Copies of this chain bind each other. A is one copy, B any other.
Amino acid sequence: MMEEKEISQAVIGRLPRYLRYLGDLKDEGMERVSSQELSERMKVTASQIRQDLNNFGGFGQQGYGYNVEYLYREISRILGLDRTHRFIIIGAGNLGQALGGYLNFERRGFLFSGIFDKNPELTGKEVRGIRVQPMEEMEQFIRDNDVDIAVLAIPKASAVEVAEHLVQNGIKAIWNFAHVDLNVPEGIQVENVHLSDSLMKLSYNINRYLQENRKSAEL
**Which residues of A are at the interface with B, using a C-beta cutoff of 8 A?**
12-13, 15-17, 19-20, 42-43, 78-81, 83, 85, 93-95, 97-99, 101-102, 104-105, 108-110, 148-149, 172-173, 175, 179, 181, 187, 189, 191, 193-209, 213
Contacts and interface: CB of A to CB of B under 8 A. Distances in A.
A94 B101 contact: yes
B179 A202 contact: no
A206 B179 contact: no
B148 A199 contact: no
A207 B149 CA distance: 12
Nearest to A41: B181
A97 B96 CA distance: 11
B206 A172 contact: yes
Given A93-B98, A101-B94, A195-B193, A110 B80 contact: no
A99 to B, nearest CB: 8
Contacts of A109: 203
Which of A108, A173, A199 is the most central at the interface, judged by chain B CB atoms within 10 Å of its CB? Answer: A199
Which of A19, A20, A108, A200 is the most central at the interface, judged by chain B CB atoms within 10 Å of its CB? Answer: A200
Given A17-B197, A175-B198, 18 more contacts: A15-B204, A16-B197, A19-B200, A78-B204, A79-B207, A85-B206, A93-B101, A94-B94, A95-B95, A99-B195, A102-B196, A104-B196, A105-B199, A148-B206, A172-B206, A172-B209, A189-B206, A191-B198
A172 B209 CA distance: 10
26 contacts: A12-B201, A16-B196, A16-B200, A17-B194, A17-B197, A20-B197, A79-B203, A79-B207, A80-B208, A81-B200, A85-B203, A94-B95, A97-B98, A104-B196, A108-B196, A108-B203, A110-B203, A148-B206, A149-B202, A149-B206, A173-B202, A175-B202, A189-B206, A189-B209, A191-B201, A193-B195
